[in-house]
Structure 1
Amino acid sequence: MCIIFFHFNPNSASAYRLILAANRDEFYSRPSKPADFWANNGNILSGLDMEKGREGGTWLGISKKGKCAALTNYLQPVINMDALGRGYLVPNFLTQDMDGLTYLKKISLEGHLYNGFNLLTVDFSNTKGDMMCYYGNRSDQEPRVLDPGIYGLCNSLLDTPWKKLVNGKKLFTETIKKSCALSPENLTQELLNMLNNEEYQLPVTDIEEQGQDFIRPILEEFSALFIRTSFYGTRTNTVILVDAKGHVTFTERCLLKPDTNQWKVSSYQFELET
Structure 2
Amino acid sequence: MCLIAFAWQAHPQLDLVVAANRDEFHQRPTEAAHWWQEPAGTFGGRDREAGGAWCAVDRHGRFAAVTNVREPARAAPVRSRGLLVRDYFAEPCGASAWAARMAEQGPAFGPFNLLVGDRDTLWFVSNRGSVRHMALRPGVHAISNGHWGDHWPKTERAQDRLQTLLGAGALEDDVLCDLLADTDIAPARALPDTGVGDERERFLSPLFIRSAMYGTRASTVIRRDRSGRVHFHERGFDADARITHRVDQDWRIDKEDRS
Is TM-score (shorter-chain normalized) higher than 0.5? yes
CA RMSD of aligned residues (A): 1.9
Per-residue displacement from partner, 1:70-109 (whole Å, max 9, x unpaired)? 1010001113224321110001111111221221211222
Match of 1:67 in 2: 62
Query: Does the 8 A contact of 2:210 with 2:241 survive in 1?
Result: no
Match of 1:187 in 2: 172
Match of 1:127 in 2: none
1:115 to partner: Cα distance: 1.5
Structure 1 residues 41-56: aligned runs within 5 Å: 41-51=39-49, 54=50, 56=51
Query: Does the 8 A contact of 1:21 with 1:195 survive in 2?
Result: yes
Query: Does the 8 A contact of 2:191 with 2:201 survive in 1?
Result: no
Distance 1:112 1:82 in 2: 9
Structure 1 residues 198-213: aligned runs within 5 Å: 198-203=183-188, 206-207=191-192, 209-213=193-197
Q: 1:133 pairs with 123, 131, 142, which one?
A: 123
1:265 equivalent to 2:246? Answer yes
Query: Does the 8 A contact of 2:230 with 2:251 survive in 1?
Result: yes
Per-residue displacement from partner, 1:156-212 (whole Å, max 9, x unpaired)? 123421011111211111111112xx5xxx6221100000011111226653x2142
Query: Does the 8 A contact of 1:151 with 1:159 survive in 2?
Result: no
Q: 1:22 pairs with 20, 23, 32, which one?
A: 20
Match of 1:117 in 2: 112
Query: Does the 8 A contact of 1:15 with 1:243 survive in 2?
Result: yes
Query: Does the 8 A contact of 1:38 with 1:44 survive in 2?
Result: yes
Match of 2:92 in 1: 97
Scaled by the length of structure 1, the TM-score of the pair is 0.87
Match of 1:156 in 2: 146
Percent of residue pairs bearing the same amino acid type: 27
Matched letter for residue 156 of structure 1: G
1:66 to partner: Cα distance: 2.3
Distance 1:260 1:199, change over 3 A: closer
Query: Does the 8 A contact of 1:77 with 1:210 survive in 2?
Result: yes
1:259 to partner: Cα distance: 4.5
Query: Does the 8 A contact of 2:95 with 2:116 survive in 1?
Result: yes
Query: How many pairs were matched up?
Result: 255
Scaled by the length of structure 2, the TM-score of the pair is 0.92
Distance 1:95 1:222, change over 3 A: same
